[in-house]
Each structure stands twice: as structure tokens, then as C-alpha cells.
Amino acid sequence: MNLADLNRIALAMVTPGKGLLAADESSGTIKKRFDAIKVDSTEDSRRDYREMLFRSQEAMSKYISGVILYDETIWQNAKDGTPLVKLIEQAGAIPGIKVDEGTQALPNCPGELVTVGLDKLAERLKKYYERGARFAKWRAVIDIGPRIPTQTAVRVNAHALARYAALCQAAQIVPIVEPEVLMDGDHDIDRCYEVTQRVLNRTFQELRVQRVALEGMILKPNMAISGKKCPKQASVQEVAEKTIRLLKSCVPAAVPGIAFLSGGQSDEEATAHLDAMNKIGHLPWRLTFSYGRALQAAPQKAWSGKPDNVPAGQRAFSHRARMNGLASTGNWEAGLEKQAA
């Protein structure tokens, strides 16, 4: 393991003013997104859509530091035969790859899941590296509900995250460690805070046990936020203050950066929360975004599968990327949203 190179890549992933595009939706997930805009989800349509994003020169060169790809996408070529990973590199961004293989029911823990995909991961990482991937992502899913999460779910998912991270670093790939506490329930922000604190503490304990170099990884956590069904939604400022307090209590300063997931927040909510945290400032790590739907909902709608709409889709993507780029330095203002094309 060359830690200096891993650290250099990790720092590039959280370059001030830039963040990560999570374009790693599974075939099932992107089908749901395409169904919403009345587009058939085929290998070609998925390729065309992602090519549109990666050829958005302004967005990719100015505001996107890296792209998380799905296994299908990393092997695809653009219509002109150029590998999609080369389009990303030509824009100055870093190609990455989602390596987990989804979730399965956790035995003896009703309603809880464990992420799978460690078998043969070392061999897969070698192939991804040869294709151009320089970072990877693994997502653990922790739900909040009556009597969950259990200690079992927290421990087995933290162990898998650390095992994955160690394998990545051995393959000279920067791991994004993503323990996501879901915001689907009716819990309040304080319950989210308490569960996320448990999850992060256990995750970093496992990372240390498995000798993962913290300087060569990125954390992708949820924010401390109210559940979607909670009758009392926390304000932007409360989310920012409690999330920072939470992270300071759990995340070592050796970690180069934290790239938040949007987790079902609306486009502007995800941007406003990130901006408010960076406005508070005085943090030991860089805070940026690793958004999927919060970057892509607008361009998907503008594109709607029509070649003539590619410029409109790219304008919509560039706007959202710019808004989040500004938020990553604490320079976003709500009034800027009116500038959307």
C-alpha cells in the first residue's frame, strides 16, 4: 500500500468547490427513475443518459471531483467508442466504482439488512483498477424503528465496511466508507443523532482493528436529520449544528474529507444543509457532497430520453453541480437557485 498516493487521491476527491457524482444506481433503481420520466431502461438508454452527464463540460470540469460508477457503466463505451471512464478522466475527474453487491436479510434480526459482496472482492478490485477506478464505495444500510437497529446489525455492517476498506487499500484504491442511517421513519433528529453516533463509533473501531489507514479513505455518512415521517422537521441550522457536533465526536481528524449522501432530501435541502455546515466552518476535515438523486433528478427530467433535450439536461446538471460546489465552500445562497436554466 502506498499511503501517500491514497492520501493524494482522497484529498483530490474533496477538492474545495467540488464533490462526487453518485452515478452508481443499480439497474433496478435507475429503472424506477426512468419509469418516472417515461423512458425505457435499456443498456443503451442508461449509457446515453450517463454519457450526457459525463460530457457536461462545465459541470464535470468545475464542480465534480469524481464519479461513482456501477459495474455495467465502468465497462461501457460512449457512442463514439470512447470508454466512459476516459470521458470522466478527460474532464479532470476521478473514476470510482461501487463494489458492494446489495443487501440481504440479516439472520435472526427481523427487518434488518447486511451488505454482501466481500467474496472475490480482491480479484474484482484488480480489474477495476486496470480499467481506471481509483476509488470505490460500499454502502451499509441501518434502519431506525421499534427495537432497531440491533447491536448485531451495527456490528456486522461495520465489520464488513472495514473489511472492504482494507481490501481496497491493499489494491491501491481509496475506499469510500458509507454507513447510511436511513431517514425513512418517523424518528426525530435526536434519535437519528444517537443511532448515527453508535454506527460511526463502531465503524471507526472496526477500521482501526483492521488497520485501515484513515488518511487514505473518505467517509460518506448521513446527516443528523429528522425522519421523513416525523411531524417536527428540524431546521436547516439545527441539522447543520447537530451534524457537526456528531461528526466531531466520532470522526478522527486524520480522515481527509466527509462527502455526505443526500439520503432522500430534496435538491435544495441537501444543498442548504451542506452550505450551513460549511458556513459554521472551523472543521478538521473538508465537507462536501456525494449526491445521486439530488444531483440527477433535474437533469433526468429535462432530458426525458430525447436526444434534442441533451443540452437542457446538461444545463440542469451544471446548475445543480454549481449550487453544491458553492455549498461545499459555504458560498451558496437560496437566491442563486432562481438562476436555473
Q: How far is CA 16 from the centre of its chain?
A: 16
- Cβ 117 vs Cβ 163: under 8 Å: no
Q: Which amino acid is at 255?
A: V
Taking alpha carbons only, the member of 287, 300, 295, 289 closest to residue 318 is 295
For helices 43-54 and 310-327, give the axis angle rounded to 10 degrees: 50
Domain that holds residue 31: 3-339
Q: Determine which one of 18, 98, 137, 220 is catalytic.
A: 220
**Quick check: 237 pLDDT over 80?**
yes
> Could you give the percent of the chain with pLDDT greater than 90?
98
Cα separation, 263 vs 266, in Å, equals: 9
- Catalytic residue status for 127: no
Cα separation, 232 vs 235, in Å, equals: 9
- Using one digit for the tens of pLDDT, what is the confidence trace for 47-75? 999 999 999 999 999 999 999 999 999 99
Kindly report the CATH number assigned to the domain that includes residue 116.
3.20.20.70
3-state secondary structure of 284: coil
251-255 CB contacts, 8 Å cutoff, 24+ apart: 251/200, 251/204, 251/219, 251/285, 252/204, 252/214, 253/284, 253/285, 254/214, 254/215, 255/214, 255/215, 255/217, 255/218, 255/219, 255/285
- Mean residue pLDDT across the chain: 97
Q: Which amino acid is at 317?
A: F
Confidence of residue 340 (pLDDT cuts 50, 70, 90): low
- Cβ 255 vs Cβ 287: under 8 Å: no
Please tell me the number of Cα atoms within 13 Å of 114 on its side-chain side.
20
Confidence of residue 341 (pLDDT cuts 50, 70, 90): very low
Cα separation, 240 vs 280, in Å, equals: 8
- Using one digit for the tens of pLDDT, what is the confidence trace for 262-317? 998 999 999 999 999 999 999 999 999 999 999 999 999 999 999 999 999 999 99
Structural domain count, the chain: 1
Please tell me the number of Cα atoms within 13 Å of 191 on its side-chain side.
21
Burial of 123 (0-12, 13-18, 19+ CB in 10 A): exposed
- Cβ 203 vs Cβ 161: under 8 Å: yes
Whole-model pTM: value is 0.96
Taking alpha carbons only, the member of 29, 24, 42, 25 closest to residue 305 is 42
Residue written as grid cell 480479484: 123
Q: What is the mean pLDDT of residues 15-40?
A: 96
- Cβ 168 vs Cβ 129: under 8 Å: no
Distances (CA, A) of 139 to 165, 168, 182, 333, 341: 11, 14, 12, 31, 33
Q: Determine which one of 178, 180, 206, 242 is catalytic.
A: 178
Q: CA dihedral defined by 234, 238, 243, 248, rounded to 10 degrees? A: -150
Cβ neighbors of 214 (< 8 A, separation 6 or more) are 204, 207, 252, 254, 255
Q: CA dihedral defined by 137, 141, 142, 144, rounded to 10 degrees? A: 130
Element (H, E) at 124: helix 121-131
- Using one digit for the tens of pLDDT, what is the confidence trace for 142-176? 999 999 999 999 999 999 999 999 999 999 999 99
Element (H, E) at 224: none
Cβ neighbors of 202 (< 8 A, separation 6 or more) are 154, 155, 158
Cβ neighbors of 208 (< 8 A, separation 6 or more) are none
- Catalytic residue status for 38: no
